[in-house]
Amino acid sequence: MGPTPEDQQFSVRFVRAVVVSVVLDALYLIAVGPEIIRLGTTNTDKRFTAANFAHHPREIGLAAFLLLFLVPAVVAEMQCRVSEWARGHQGWVNAHVPEWLGRTLGVRARPISGIPSAWDWVAARRGGCFVRIFTSDSRWVGGWLSDDAYLSLYPEPRDIFISVEWRMSEEGRFLEAVGGSLGLYVPLNGIDRVAWLEGSQDQLPLETF
């Protein structure tokens, strides 16, 4: 699960935030409405005014902390816990929870991931292998990815630092390690092709093409 495509739209997020705020405000009025009215009045002034709140600074501070921060934080944490539980019991959820309610609570199965892109998903998991890149200027570059390698992830532009550069043939085959190589930086502009291959630092990859 994760953000839906419409979550990228500001208007959707804004409307959702307004709806949640209205629901919480309504529940606050039902639960503690009389207490809020009491804080907005005094024994001598029964009018509900902002000035009367100044007579109850501690109570107002506590109410603001509970209603504006603690309750929304607890609700958000509960929703996250429910979503985590639903991932492990998705079959039961899909069978017993109505679709509209499941989507509202964020517990229905959806073919959507919270990871921004395939690059972010795979790049962070790669290491101790060879990498081969066909760049946007139609050249093959590559080398060995060790613990010194680095790959940028969302929201930064994609790029990669290869620990040890290898010479590449015009067909994309690994030839030999570049002597004295201290690494190779490769910016990726979106049309590059990146492949990871098994192997060890001192020998050619198992598959060179």
Return the H-helix or E-strand segment holding 74: helix 71-88
> Does one domain contain both 132 and 162?
yes
> Quick one: 48 and 94 in the same domain?
yes
Final residue belonging to a domain, choices 46, 74, 105: 105
| Whether residue 17 sits in one domain with residue 101 | yes
Query: What mean pLDDT do residues 35-48 have?
Result: 76
Q: How many Cα atoms within 13 Å fall on the side-chain side of residue 110?
A: 18
Q: What are phi and psi of 70, to 5 degrees?
A: -65, -50
In tens, the pLDDT along 6-19 reads 566 677 677 778 88
In a domain, 204, yes or no: no
Quick one: 9 and 98 in the same domain? yes
Q: What is the pTM of this model?
A: 0.50
Strand partners, 141: 133
CA–CA separation, 209 and 207 (whole Å)? 6
In a domain? residue 84: yes
CA separation for the pair 55, 52 (Å, rounded): 6
pLDDT in tens, 91-107: 777 777 777 666 666 55
Q: Which domain holds residue 99?
A: 5-105
